[in-house]
Amino acid sequence: MNSTLYLPRKLESNGKVYTESELLAASRYIVVLSEPGGGKTELLRSLAEQLGASYSTANKFAHVDIDVENCPIIVDAFDELAKIDDTGIHRLLANAIKTKPTHVIISSRSSEWHNADTNTFKDFIGHEPLIVRLFSFDESEQRAIFESHAQGEEFSLFQTEVARFDLETLLPNPEFLKL
């Protein structure tokens, strides 16, 4: 099993498609949206690596005093913090602003991010975030993920079994492909 496979992602905002590098060039203030298992965590780790930054979960970031300034802030799983505490985004963004960040990139489940959250981001950070959505993995990417985790297995046979149980909607989810 190859656990180091990473497929560069494409994202969309208002009909414009971005590669990861184009996204970083387009804005320093980004909110990445996708449903569970869509690849937000791996994307944020990739963006952090590209920016030479640390990656943190929202629950951790909201409760830790940050003692560095002028560096990128990359925070995953805002939605998990929001479930625990409605004011979580306020605490998270207050911690972020203290660091005078060069970038602020956070992720959330699409269903958990609302216009009020966008407004709160703008109020705290002083910039409206670029809201982007992850593209689902296409069939060739699904095959690559499956084959990296189930070496020697046939993706087409797997697809047939998935169809037999009417689970095709789960194929773009990388976590499903790893099972």
Q: Kindly list the distances between the CA atom of residue 36 and the CA atoms of 44, 131, 171, 175, in Å, as whole numbers in the listed order.
A: 14, 17, 13, 9
Reported as a pLDDT band with limits 50, 70 and 90, residue 155 is very high
pLDDT digits (tens, 9 = 90+) for 21-80: 999 999 999 999 998 888 999 999 999 999 999 999 998 888 777 777 899 999 999 988
What does the H/E/C string look like for 86-154?
A: CCHHHHHHHHHHHCCCCCEEEEEEHHHCCHHHHHHHHHHHCCCCEEEEECCCCHHHHHHHHHHHCCCCC
pLDDT digits (tens, 9 = 90+) for 68-121: 789 999 999 998 887 787 777 888 898 889 889 999 999 999 999 999 999 999
pLDDT of residue 1: 41
- Ramachandran quadrant class, 52 (left: phi over 0; alpha: psi -120 to 50; beta: rest): left
Of 5-9, 13-17, 29-33, 62-66, the least confident: 62-66
DSSP state of 9: -
Which token pair is 43? 């994307």
pLDDT of residue 2: 44
> Is the separation of the CB atoms in 149 and 53 below 8 Å?
no
Higher model confidence: residue 11 or residue 92?
11
Furthest C-alpha separation in the chain:
54
**Model confidence pTM above 0.85:** yes
pLDDT of residue 20: 98
Residue position matching structure tokens 């937000």:
40
> Is the separation of the CB atoms in 120 and 90 below 8 Å?
yes
Does the pLDDT at position 3 exceed 60? no
Does the pLDDT at position 9 exceed 80? yes
> Residue 1 in 3-state DSSP?
coil
- The per-residue DSSP string of 56-73 comes to EEHHHHTTS-----SS-E
